Structure 1
């Protein structure tokens, strides 16, 4: 079998595996609040999330195009197949490690850091497209800050609007509404996260000369959407437990505020073609809502642990990818 074709097959398999893992690793964030408030039974929440993620993944391709050409230029990338394969192995390894320990880290940070690390190992720092890479990093940094702020504002408005309402009845009504917001958040997750694997596969197809355009092939879109949906159907109970209960005690009104905040910001990023960390956005939304509800009610120890993981993901994944590139380069 031709080496280039073999590498392409391995990359497609790796990218779909990354999307599958992303499905149970990151999608858990989208339904965590609905499960923790008992607005949805776990099985129903997972089915809902799987369907909405698939639909979301089939709707947009802007983020995929950004991943394809925003970090490195696939048309000139030196030893591109090995770079991409090394990046996938690194991102998958980091995702599985953080999933095992129940830490809601960012798949976006992992894959973006991995691509950069492997590309630098292959061709030096000049391999990075600094304009595109800088824009992506800025989006990753600003989105959780915006999510925290917007979550604080949205819940503060809720407190004013519903201050004279019976708390029990209000929460019951919001529990029904939370089914819709969980579906919306799952949909927006699909519009952004599933596209990262689409971008990686397209990058490999360009680097290996199989396509000459950054347009995402339809079979790539369907494959990645399916992998994300199947991964979601597996569930991510450790992540659900952390996001749904270890940040703060979530009631339906808190969950709706957090879901609306997260979905708005993720969808906003998707419409302008920027990849963001859905994990960061959703968790930061909950932190913002929790701070507006009762500052002492937020479990800041868990938040600190999550923050540390977010900060170290980029450099660690980049380092693992660089080492992986040197290993793979011995064989290909």
Structure 2
């Protein structure tokens, strides 16, 4: 009975993580489309939510990487307990909430992996983690993917402006905005094929660790459905804080740039999902936005913002690992320890929510300006302008 309770608790927290992943990463798919006015904020998150759910059913290659890859479990491996997995999820959830509050597009992927790795090391030692898989399917793609997506977006943006010759012309802008509806939808679909699977892999790993599922077996249908619904629901909530950073603070995104960034992101993520690479959607889309900014002549990329984002990327995995390790140390002591960790997780979530309520960011803060104001620079006399608009002016 104790094992069943622990497994149930793990599944609940895993779905909570999936929910936070949804609103944390909504910005990755839709920020540029909202910033350019191609989609209204609520329209964007609804489309993204539906396609995240659809994407969850397309492939389970990434889920297999997690459930049968980074953690050595089963015959001949280390016994990973549901308590360790629960602790790892705590680290991931808390990091997601912290970076969401800060408006920092950090990687939910690396938060999850960091939490699991930290908990596994504390609970079962360094041999419990297959660092070869971590290097080949997590670290290397994390380093390479932003540059690949950024380079593709840079070339695509340059080509778009060259082909149209005057991408700011009314007809060209309208065409690219319509194209963004499709390209943003592809990113959402790609996000579902990659990010929803990570939680599927965690739940499958838990079921295997608890002996409710055979080692090496695939993801069950109810797990796919539950994870798809959780990430879709989280997406519909709307991650306005991070969406503002990606859509407005990195560079002043125009429709051709948004289309190029979204197309580049979708292609990169879909290919990685097919290969089983647990890619960070955050890093791919941020890299694409930076590349799109560099691809437009005289466009401004705010490197101070990029620096903050890059710092978050570097810190995410070890920070989540530290929290996951501490949680594993406390939770593994007894049932009381498990309850203490669960209470601390809930308290942390409530704290970040309360802090966010004090300085709210809504859909109005990320929406594109009305047509009558489009193209008007935010000069010194304008109020409420962001650093992006002030610099561009």
Counterpart for residue 117 of structure 2 = 116
Counterpart for residue 142 of structure 2 = 140
Cα distance in 2, alignment partners of residues 216 and 204 from structure 1: 11
Counterpart for residue 181 of structure 2 = 179
Q: TM-score, normalised by structure 2?
A: 0.82
Displacement of 1:79 after TM fit? Answer: 4.5
Secondary structure of 1:82's aligned partner: helix
Cα distance in 2, alignment partners of residues 67 and 275 from structure 1: 8
Higher relative contact order (CA 8 A, sep 6+): 1
Cα distance in 2, alignment partners of residues 167 and 302 from structure 1: 29
Counterpart for residue 87 of structure 1 = 88
Residue correspondence of structure 1 range 203-222 to structure 2 within 5 A = 203-212=205-214, 213-222=216-225
Q: TM-score, normalised by structure 1?
A: 0.97
Kept in 2: contact 1:74–1:204 (CA 8 A): no
The correspondence for 1:292, drawn from 292, 295, 303, is: 295
Counterpart for residue 227 of structure 2 = 224
Cα distance in 2, alignment partners of residues 204 and 152 from structure 1: 41
Cα distance in 2, alignment partners of residues 54 and 249 from structure 1: 30
Displacement of 1:168 after TM fit? Answer: 2.8
1:39 aligns with 2:38: yes
Secondary structure of 1:68's aligned partner: helix
Kept in 2: contact 1:71–1:115 (CA 8 A): no
Cα distance in 1, alignment partners of residues 317 and 296 from structure 2: 32
Deviations 1:186-237, CA, capped at 9 Å, x for gaps: 1001000000000000000001100104300000000000001111111110
Comparing 135-144 with 8-17, which one deviates more in the overlay?
A: 135-144
Secondary structure of 1:30's aligned partner: helix
Secondary structure of 1:26's aligned partner: helix
Count of residues in correspondence between the two structures: 331
User: Would the alpha carbon gap of residues 79 and 185 (structure 1) be closer, same or farther in structure 2, given more than 3 Å must change?
Assistant: closer
Kept in 2: contact 1:27–1:189 (CA 8 A): no
Counterpart for residue 303 of structure 1 = 306
Kept in 1: contact 2:166–2:172 (CA 8 A): no
What's the C-alpha RMSD, in Å, of the aligned pairs?
Answer: 1.3
Cα distance in 2, alignment partners of residues 86 and 18 from structure 1: 12
1:77 aligns with 2:78: yes
Counterpart for residue 102 of structure 2 = 101
Counterpart for residue 130 of structure 1 = 131
Displacement of 1:160 after TM fit? Answer: 2.3
